[in-house]
Structure 1
């Protein structure tokens, strides 16, 4: 299957696997975070947009309390689960994402019984593009409709976050699920992670003659491992020492005092969050006033902050950013939780081939694995597609 989701193909794959047609096919996109990294769990601001790569699930309800799950990834066997024994400790591998959502929704009183589920995704795993949230949001959207649960989009956001936090064990905020559920074509989603209020911000790249180029470094990361948790702990320590509920409550004017109260590493972590929140607000204002061609310097400044203050970049990400900038990108930054994953570059559409070739050559010259490089555009959020 191609990078775009073909609902008919997913439905046919379901039928081939389970011997009957599904009740429907639901899709939810991955996301690129345009700017605002690690600000979400600090109750700050983020600006993601949904991309035109997605996870799709075909589902058919059963009369019993058995779940059968199959994925297009590799030659995996169908997994059968007794839902009577479902608990966070009983889930592992890719099935933790759909089953985690089912467990959370059942905890909320949604009477989900047995089902057959087939998953196909075109969101690269481990690339920092929220492949996990795409699965969660597709599954949550499907069962919200199939079971007439009546949960709002914002409630579904929290379902996905709980699945990540309580089942998968990743201490993430609400950024990824919000982007996947709330997005629309041609817009980014400005999200206040404290109030959960959001609004759409125009991001018409095509009209400006621009593209967002994703460079998937193939350096895999996992949020449930130590680096992400350590950064979150540093932020919580900084807030505690500075006497605020979260780092959202600080501004640049508070940084000189913070420098005198915090150890050097914790101060740099705090400085990144404070400045990154302001960069998000500045980016929103510039998109509203001048369009996407005006935001390049903010993207590049964000990368420098993540590289130097938050220390979540890596050699491959830095090379992707530096090479893109040297070959005509207006701005570039790593995106996602860090420690690998993807970088993004805002480039003139006419420069696609030259920037892509330059990055590929730079990786080869450095002895790095070949990256996956592709353009993305702002796409609609989770929905039924068949």
Structure 2
């Protein structure tokens, strides 16, 4: 018996493995006709919807014009003066005054210079803005009176100040190293502590300090990398970061630069501590003592000795023992001396964990 299989959601006829081909062909035709009808109905529904970028005339939207008119009338009815507001007290307001919130109301008060500056300005004493501007103008006029003739305008004076600032900057270019009697780096400087910087944030320092492509693989500082958390293992000439020198706790030594005092030394390197090759000569003391004529006796606790040809030792008494050893007593000598020589020896160690001169701790910084 044929199986009338249908789709799960819309119940559209579909073929079934148990059906014969002629039966399923009829069902396929019926299914396509059903799908065609559904698509046509969907197109008709979509055609009735407005496009996403369509427009409407205000009059076509029910109630919109009346709401806009009501809002415009409400705005027109509002007074355009501060006096009409319920939380203001500005009846005595005049030009140059400002609003200050006092006693739960916005009150007009005379403008004071303190409203516009966190710290007092030296030479400006007026409590009002107008008065402060007048004092500032007077100070500028007095300054211009003392300006040399070649600076006949304030702009020329400003240009000269800017030029002087540029000359100061040139005197301390990016990459300069200096020491400061302070715990923090001053403005325009960074601690020379081996930090990894973003090149984009310090382009001038990057250009001045970069070790160069051929040294980027081995330089101890001034090299570029891709990972600030693992700088030495991510060296890359196209990296976005650059490494500062670490001068903390170090003495500086000028680069040899071909002189030959520190021959073979490369820039961008450091050195460990080292003693120059040397020796210490110790002259061992010697001693000579003098004595009168005397003999030396060899003493032993041996009590047995082997007689010639005997298979076992023979026993002797004390008198025989002493007589036996008379042959081992040195003969008397005239007055003579004995010399004692002492061989080379090593002294005990002394000192600390390093060799250093007197020094003072300051903060090493690099200009950016």
User: What's the TM-score, normalizing by structure 2?
Assistant: 0.19
**Structure with bigger RCO (C-alpha 8 Å, 6+ apart):** 1
Structure with greater strand share of residues: 1
